[in-house]
């Protein structure tokens, strides 16, 4: 070290110069000697003065050498730091969904833009929650987020007003009765199949729009199992903005006004994702009876077309739930006779039944019910029925003014609407991760 170098230099110069100058009495001529001599006035011989002068001379030389060594060490240290800094990994570039500029992966605490939107991760809108999830660089435990450069904010989080989920055009128009209003439940969807003989489109199952490109329905509506074998007649179209199957356009008289819906929207399925746990026909029940149907983006949202909200994790079914769809009904038997499905969108309010009580009821029928199910109904002539499979079981939240998708119609007894026997629905709250994961992969 520099200190050791100085100490060693002093030891060498002191001993050698002391031997050389021990017999010399010539007065020193340089400024250093004057200083040492003035010191010598307080005592000591000429040889002592020579030794003192030599010590000072060589000490100065040693200090100069040490200073040079220190400079070299500092320079080398600086170079070392610089070299090491170059070997550190550079910030990774990343992609921010819906934003043209490239982002950079940074720790969450260092991204001001993410701090602003962190509270939005509990939003009810699928698109917003998925946006936040898509920002993580790698796994969550790595703690890095895709952050805009130069302190900018995320552009994708600026949602227009009409992106709200679960909202109906005129809430005061929701009233009792079997027939839904023309703009009620604008997220309900029809799954249509083609008749093999007539080639006409026929109603097959219901569904619910949850984003611009995804509809939720029952797995048994689209396939027998997740492996892709024993597929039923394929779904030809997903229809939205439908009200009356036999009229186009759909209109309704409201007072002295004629209220007409916008033209129906038909989309071919681009991809159908069946829950991997669904295996129909292997047990006397449908477990994991859920399917995601991907479609081309729908038009901008209006009073006649809007997604329903997915439930929050802590949300529990309320006392009463609502089902809407085009399933089998006796409502029109006096006018058009008995038909397999209702031509007009229907609705029914059903009491929620605890799954444990529901389990006891179906146990007598040798059918298994568990926590992945939601049960509702059990009142005479009030139930979802044949053709209602895949239809949404909904809950209205007066706090937010929004409707939430609590379940998807799965199964029930053959003669629906029987006292004491509720219908069974797939519990959406237990499948949120699966739904979001598959939407993100699209």
Chain segment 42-86, per-residue pLDDT in tens: 344 433 333 344 444 555 555 455 444 444 344 444 433 333 333
**DSSP classification of residue 313:** T
Do the Cβ atoms of 331 and 346 come closer than 8 Å? yes
324-376 pLDDT per residue, tens: 999 764 443 444 445 567 889 999 899 999 989 999 999 988 888 999 999 99
Question: Which tens digit of pLDDT belongs to each residue from 231-281?
Answer: 556 899 999 999 999 898 999 887 788 889 999 999 999 999 999 998 755
Look at 17-26, 158-167, 183-192 and tell me which has the smallest mean pLDDT. Answer: 17-26
What CATH number is given for 93-159 in this structure? Answer: 3.30.1640
Which pLDDT belongs to residue 87?
36
Across the range 195-220, mean pLDDT stands at 92
Q: What is the DSSP letter of 137?
A: S
- What percent of the chain has pLDDT above 90? 36
pLDDT of residue 418 exceeding 80: no
Known catalytic residues are: 220, 289, 389
Residue 26 CB contacts under 8 Å (≥ 6 apart), including other chains: none
Spatial separation of the C-alpha atoms in residues 248 and 260, rounded to whole Å = 10
Joined together, the tokens standing for residue 130 give 């998925």
Could you please state the CATH topology (level 3) that the domain comprising 171-440 is classified under. Answer: Thrombin, subunit H (2.40.10)
């Amino acid at each position: 070290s520099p200190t050791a170098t100085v100490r060693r230099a002093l030891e060498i110069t002191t001993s050698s110069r002391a031997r050389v100058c021990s017999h010399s009495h010539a007065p020193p001529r340089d400024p250093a000697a004057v200083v040492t001599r003035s010191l010598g006035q307080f005592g000591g011989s000429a040889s002592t003065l020579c030794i003192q002068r030599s010590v000072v001379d060589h000490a100065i030389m040693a200090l100069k050498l040490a200073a040079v060594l220190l400079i070299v060490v500092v320079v080398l240290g600086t170079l070392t730091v610089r070299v090491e800094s170059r070997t550190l990994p550079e910030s990774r570039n990343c992609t921010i969904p819906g934003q043209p500029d490239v982002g950079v992966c940074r720790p969450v605490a260092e991204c001001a833009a993410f701090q602003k939107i962190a509270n939005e991760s509990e939003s009810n809108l699928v698109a917003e929650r998925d946006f936040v999830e898509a920002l993580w660089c790698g796994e969550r435990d790595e703690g890095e987020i895709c952050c805009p450069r130069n302190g900018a904010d995320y552009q994708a989080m600026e949602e227009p007003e009409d992106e709200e989920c679960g909202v109906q055009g005129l809430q005061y128009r929701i009233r009792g009765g079997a027939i839904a209003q023309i703009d009620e439940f604008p997220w309900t969807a029809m799954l249509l199949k083609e008749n093999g003989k007539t080639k006409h489109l026929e109603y097959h199952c219901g569904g619910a729009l949850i984003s611009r490109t995804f509809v939720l329905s029952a797995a048994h509506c689209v396939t027998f199992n997740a492996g892709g074998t024993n597929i039923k007649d394929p779904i030809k179209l997903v229809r939205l903005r439908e009200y009356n199957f036999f009229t186009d356009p759909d209109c309704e008289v409201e007072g002295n006004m004629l209220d007409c819906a916008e033209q129906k929207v038909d989309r071919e399925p681009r991809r159908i994702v069946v829950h991997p746990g669904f295996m129909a026909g292997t047990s006397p029940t449908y477990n994991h009876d859920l399917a995601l149907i991907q479609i081309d983006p729908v038009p901008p949202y209006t009073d006649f077309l809007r997604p329903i909200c997915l439930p929050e994790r802590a949300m529990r079914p309320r006392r009463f739930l609502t089902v809407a769809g085009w399933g089998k009904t006796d409502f029109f038997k006096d006018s058009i006779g008995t038909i397999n499905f209702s031509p007009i969108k229907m609705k029914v309010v059903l009491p929620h039944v605890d799954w444990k009580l529901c389990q006891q009821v179906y146990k007598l029928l040798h059918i298994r019910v568990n926590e992945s199910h939601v049960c509702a109904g059990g009142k005479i002539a009030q139930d979802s029925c044949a053709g209602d499979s895949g239809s949404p079981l909904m809950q209205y939240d007066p706090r937010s003014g929004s409707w939430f998708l609590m379940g998807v119609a799965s199964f029930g007894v053959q003669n629906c609407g029987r006292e004491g026997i509720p219908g069974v629905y797939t519990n959406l709250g237990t499948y949120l991760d699966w739904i979001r994961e598959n939407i993100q992969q699209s």
